[in-house]
Amino acid sequence: MSALDTIVAIATPPGRGAIGIVRISGPATARIAATLLRRCPPPRTATLATFREADGGAIDQGLALYFPGPQSFTGEDSLELHGHGGPVVLDALVRRCLALGCRAARPGEFSERAFLNGKIDVAQAEGVADLIDAASSAAARAAARSMQGELSARVHALQAELTALRVRLEGAIDFPDEEVPLLDDGEVATRLAALRGSLVALRDEAHRGVRLVEGLTVVIAGKPNAGKSSLLNRLAGDEVAIVTDLPGTTRDLLRHSVLEDGIPLHLVDTAGLRVAGDAIEAEGIRRARAAIARADLVLYVVDAARERAEVGAIGTEMAAIAPGVPVAIVLNKIDLLAAEAHDDLPTATDPPGVIALSARTGAGVDRLRARLRASAGEQSAEVSVVSARRRHLDALGRAGAHLDEAERVRRDTGAPELVAEELRCAQAALGEITGEFTSDDLLGEIFRSFCIGK
Ligand SMILES: Nc1nc2c(ncn2[C@@H]2O[C@H](COP(=O)(O)OP(=O)(O)OP(=O)(O)O)[C@@H](O)[C@H]2O)c(=O)[nH]1
Ligand SMILES: [Mg+2]
């Protein structure tokens, strides 16, 4: 990319609208404004202007806003032309700018320039993109936080801690004969432990942020005939899966995505867990267990009429298959229970969090939906979730692995230079989030996923 180019793009969505905005950024902005509008408008002042063709004729009339660099979004001289939002008139305006020496902007190029000029970091730019793409108010709130630099600030705080600890360790390397036993005093161990704790906390929060954007993988599991496929159909609002009264109906994984309040839920129906009857079912059960292990949430479906007694053992059974994966127990087929039993379900003897419902009648399904929304992070977004992406989680994961390794090296060898080296690697991994240590290829990839004019 040449920083000398002046770029132009329509910044409003395609189609007709009351207002359409064309954005220009780069060193030739003032010159182009002087020709297009007859004079460059005063800085940061909305100015009524006629946008003119080469022959002096009017393309449109509207507001012109001139932002001299560096006090602009991109950090360069830039101009916004607010005209009428018709595709033909906006195209004519862009064509005129191209004739005056602009180049058509690539997707995300305005944001990329803002990054290159130090106006925002990559995590903030991604926050802008996520805010525009947000499908729920929770996702929008989280994206706004990242856009305003909350994720970046958390990363910077961790990096500052890492730097301080490295200085301490590198002091020990440079002055090995100092009296203070630098690595035995427990201080390094304590600070390392605190760092690991902060990193895990940030990673959890980032994970919730990713789920707001990417959605939640919800695996429906349970014994054969419990009503798993019926529940999938109920949540999907469609006959997605085959339902029969034969145990062992579902053998393969069946995936279906739905939007719950704007949050994508990726539902996975599975084969009933039991001792398999044949090779096909055995493979289905193997796949079911693998899906459970990768789930963000498992809905364990129980036939309320026949399997109530087994509810207590489910937690242990699931923990063996998928340690750490949250499980919600769904007591299904409550329509088969005596009418008076419905009202006080779940009862005090059920484990906490049990959701009683009927996949057949739909009774109680709203409670399940509320639980799904909560799991998708909607509730925690009230507190403070930042929007995040897989690549952030990845970087946080690698930083965490280096900190674990630093702790292991500290314990086993006590060699400050080895610990310091792991801290340096952790720091580099964190730097990828904000773009400090990100390769040009990755940067290009990130910004290309943005829309044109942003
Ligand atoms: N009365 C009643 N029957 C239900 C309910 N949910 C499912 N069933 C019935 O239970 C039987 C099994 O339902 P499925 O949805 O196929 O159960 P599954 O857990 O997917 O079974 P497999 O795929 O064999 O493991 C069918 O006859 C369903 O009609 C319910 O809420 N109430
Ligand atoms: Mg089934």
211 Cα–ligand 1 center, Å: 29
Considering the domain architecture, whether residues 255 and 338 belong to the same structural domain is answered as: yes
Report which protein residue has its CA nearest ligand 1's atom 14: 227
Of the candidates 104, 120, 136, which is a domain's last residue? 120
Going by DSSP bridges, is the β-strand pair 78-85/297-303 parallel, antiparallel, or unpaired?
A: unpaired
Q: Measured from the CB, is residue 427 less than 6 Å from ligand 1?
A: no
281 Cα–ligand 2 center, Å: 12
Structure tokens at 424: 């340096």
The listed range with the strongest mean pLDDT (42-56, 362-376, 411-425) is: 42-56
* 1 part of a folded domain: no
Q: What is the mean pLDDT of residues 114-131?
A: 92
* Closest ligand 1 atom to 271 CA: 25
Q: Which ligand is nearest to the CA of 224?
A: 1
* Total tally of structural domains belonging to the chain: 3
* 338 part of a folded domain: yes
Q: Measured from the CB, is residue 250 less than 6 Å from ligand 1?
A: yes
Considering the domain architecture, whether residues 400 and 291 belong to the same structural domain is answered as: no
Q: Measured from the CB, is residue 248 less than 6 Å from ligand 1?
A: yes
249 Cα–ligand 2 center, Å: 5
* 381 part of a folded domain: no
Report which protein residue has its CA nearest ligand 1's atom 9: 227
339 Cα–ligand 2 center, Å: 26
Q: Could you tell me which residue, 51 or 144, shows the higher pLDDT?
A: 51
239 Cα–ligand 2 center, Å: 12
* 450 part of a folded domain: no
Share of the chain above pLDDT 70, in %: 93
CB 205 within 8 A of CB 386: yes
Q: What is the mean pLDDT of residues 222-232?
A: 96
Between the alpha carbon of residue 401 and those of residues 22, 94, 183, 194, 423, the distances in Å are 46, 49, 21, 15, 10
Q: What is the DSSP letter of 13?
A: P
* Closest ligand 1 atom to 361 CA: 31
Considering the domain architecture, whether residues 327 and 230 belong to the same structural domain is answered as: yes
Res. 327 pLDDT band, cuts 50 70 90: very high
Q: Which ligand is nearest to the CA of 222?
A: 1
Residue in this structure with the two tokens 């929060």, named with its chain if needed:
205
Share of the chain above pLDDT 90, in %: 62
What is d(CA 391, CA 116) in angstroms, rounded to the nearest whole number?
A: 20
Considering the domain architecture, whether residues 40 and 140 belong to the same structural domain is answered as: no
What is d(CA 171, CA 416) in angstroms, rounded to the nearest whole number?
A: 9
Does pLDDT of 439 surpass 80? no
Considering the domain architecture, whether residues 301 and 328 belong to the same structural domain is answered as: yes
Report which protein residue has its CA nearest ligand 1's atom 12: 225
Q: Measured from the CB, is residue 234 less than 6 Å from ligand 1?
A: no
Q: Measured from the CB, is residue 251 less than 6 Å from ligand 1?
A: no
Of the candidates 85, 120, 155, which is a domain's last residue? 120
Considering the domain architecture, whether residues 368 and 393 belong to the same structural domain is answered as: no
What is d(CA 86, CA 3) in angstroms, rounded to the nearest whole number?
A: 30
Does pLDDT of 442 surpass 90? no
* Closest ligand 1 atom to 223 CA: 25
What is d(CA 414, CA 184) in angstroms, rounded to the nearest whole number?
A: 8
- Over the stretch 31-59, which tens digit does the pLDDT of each residue have? 999 999 999 999 999 999 999 999 999 99
CATH number, domain of 70, equals 3.30.1360.120
Considering the domain architecture, whether residues 150 and 267 belong to the same structural domain is answered as: no
269 Cα–ligand 2 center, Å: 7
Of the candidates 97, 120, 143, which is a domain's last residue? 120
Considering the domain architecture, whether residues 265 and 143 belong to the same structural domain is answered as: no
Q: Measured from the CB, is residue 364 less than 6 Å from ligand 1?
A: no
Q: Could you tell me which residue, 438 or 105, shows the higher pLDDT?
A: 105
Q: What is the dihedral of CA 359, 360, 362, 365, to 10 degrees?
A: -10
Considering the domain architecture, whether residues 221 and 368 belong to the same structural domain is answered as: yes
* DSSP letters for 319-383: HHHSTT--EEEEEE-GGGS-HHHHHTPSPTTSPTT-EE--TTT-TTHHHHHHHHHHHTTHHHHHH
Does pLDDT of 1 surpass 50? no
Question: What pLDDT score was predicted for residue 381?
Answer: 47
Question: What pLDDT score was predicted for residue 378?
Answer: 54
* Closest ligand 1 atom to 248 CA: 24
Considering the domain architecture, whether residues 345 and 236 belong to the same structural domain is answered as: yes
* 426 part of a folded domain: yes
Range of the domain at 224: 216-375
Between the alpha carbon of residue 21 and those of residues 18, 90, 142, 247, 427, the distances in Å are 10, 8, 27, 60, 41
Report which protein residue has its CA nearest ligand 1's atom 17: 227
Supply φ then ψ for residue 291, to 5 degrees. -65, -40
Res. 182 pLDDT band, cuts 50 70 90: low
244 Cα–ligand 1 center, Å: 7
Does pLDDT of 150 surpass 70? yes
* 164 part of a folded domain: yes
Question: What pLDDT score was predicted for residue 443?
Answer: 81
CATH number, domain of 233, equals 3.40.50.300
CATH number, domain of 186, equals 1.20.120.430
Lowest mean pLDDT among 183-187, 307-311, 332-336, 428-432: 183-187
* DSSP letters for 97-163: HHHTT-EEPPTTHHHHHHHHTTSS-HHHHHHHHHHHH--SHHHHHHHHHHHTTHHHHHHHHHHHHHH
Res. 25 pLDDT band, cuts 50 70 90: very high
* 429 part of a folded domain: yes
Considering the domain architecture, whether residues 355 and 235 belong to the same structural domain is answered as: yes
Res. 178 pLDDT band, cuts 50 70 90: low
Q: Which ligand is nearest to the CA of 304?
A: 1
Q: Which of 112, 120, 42, 46 is nearest to 454 (CA)?
A: 112
Considering the domain architecture, whether residues 248 and 267 belong to the same structural domain is answered as: yes
* 39 part of a folded domain: yes
